Amino acid sequence: MTEPAAAPSTWFQRFLLPGFAFKAVVIGGGYATGRELAEFFLPAGPWGGLAAMILAMLLWSLVAAVTFAFAHARQSFDYRSFFAELLGPGWIIFEIAYVLFVILILAVFGAAAGAIGAAMFGLPPLIGTSALALCIAAFAAFGNASVERLFKYVSFLLYGVYALFLLLALTRFGDSIAHHFAASQPPANGWLLGGITYAGYNIVGAVVILPVLRHLTSRRDAVIAGLVAGPLAMAPAILFFICMVAFLPGIADQTLPSDFLLTQMNVPAFHLLFQLMIFAALLESGTGSVHAINERVAAAWHHHRGGELGVAPRVAIAAVLLIGCMFVADRFGLVALIARGYRALAYVLIAIYVVPLLTIGLYRLTRSRRRTQETA
Ordered by start, the domain boundaries in the chain are: 11-366
Please determine, for residue 335, whether its predicted confidence score (pLDDT) is greater than 80: no
Please determine, for residue 2, whether its predicted confidence score (pLDDT) is greater than 50: no
Please determine, for residue 67, whether its predicted confidence score (pLDDT) is greater than 50: yes
Whole-angstrom CA distances from 112 to 96, 255, 333, 369 are 25, 9, 9, 45
What is the average pLDDT score of the chain?
86
State which of 63-77, 133-147, 281-295 shows the largest mean pLDDT. 63-77
11-366 CATH choice from 1.10.3720.10, 3.40.50.300, 3.30.360.10, 1.20.1740.10: 1.20.1740.10
How far out from the chain centre does Cα 288 lie? Answer: 8
Q: What is the mean pLDDT of residues 68-86?
A: 93
Say what the pLDDT of residue 150 is.
92
Model confidence at 8, in pLDDT bands (50, 70, 90)? confident
Backbone angles phi, psi at 299, to 5 degrees: -65, -45
Say what the pLDDT of residue 51 is.
94
Backbone angles phi, psi at 243, to 5 degrees: -65, -40
Say what the pLDDT of residue 315 is.
87
Whole-angstrom CA distances from 134 to 29, 129, 253, 256 are 17, 9, 31, 23
Q: CA–CA separation, 190 vs 123, rounded Å?
A: 39
Backbone angles phi, psi at 45, to 5 degrees: 85, 175
Q: What is the DSSP letter of 339?
A: I
Range in 56-60, 141-145, 170-174, 353-357 with the lowest mean pLDDT: 141-145
Residue 298 contacts residue 330 (beta carbons within 8 Å): no
Pairwise pLDDT comparison (126 vs 60), residue with the higher score: 60
Backbone angles phi, psi at 310, to 5 degrees: -80, 180
Range in 105-109, 167-171, 219-223, 344-348 with the lowest mean pLDDT: 344-348
Q: What is the mean pLDDT of residues 218-241?
A: 95
Please determine, for residue 337, whether its predicted confidence score (pLDDT) is greater than 80: no
Please determine, for residue 227, whether its predicted confidence score (pLDDT) is greater than 90: yes
Say what the pLDDT of residue 131 is.
92
Q: What percent of the chain has pLDDT over 70?
A: 90
Residue 29 contacts residue 108 (beta carbons within 8 Å): yes
Q: What percent of the chain has pLDDT over 90?
A: 44
Q: What is the mean pLDDT of residues 100-126?
A: 82
Q: CA–CA separation, 48 vs 37, rounded Å?
A: 12
Q: How far apart are the first and last CA of the chain?
A: 29
Please determine, for residue 3, whether its predicted confidence score (pLDDT) is greater than 50: no
Q: CA–CA separation, 276 vs 157, rounded Å?
A: 10
Q: CA–CA separation, 71 vs 76, rounded Å?
A: 5
Model confidence over 237-294: pLDDT tens digits? Answer: 999 999 999 998 889 888 778 889 998 998 999 998 998 898 999 999 899 889 888 8
Say what the pLDDT of residue 300 is.
80
Q: What is the mean pLDDT of residues 148-162?
A: 92
* Sign of the alpha-carbon dihedral angle for 188, 193, 199, 202: negative
Please determine, for residue 310, whether its predicted confidence score (pLDDT) is greater than 80: no
Model confidence at 356, in pLDDT bands (50, 70, 90)? very high
Please determine, for residue 160, whether its predicted confidence score (pLDDT) is greater than 90: yes
* DSSP states along 212-281: GGGG--SHHHHHHHHHHHHHHHHHHHHHHHHHHGGGTTGGGG-S-HHHHHHHHHT-HHHHHHHHHHHHHH
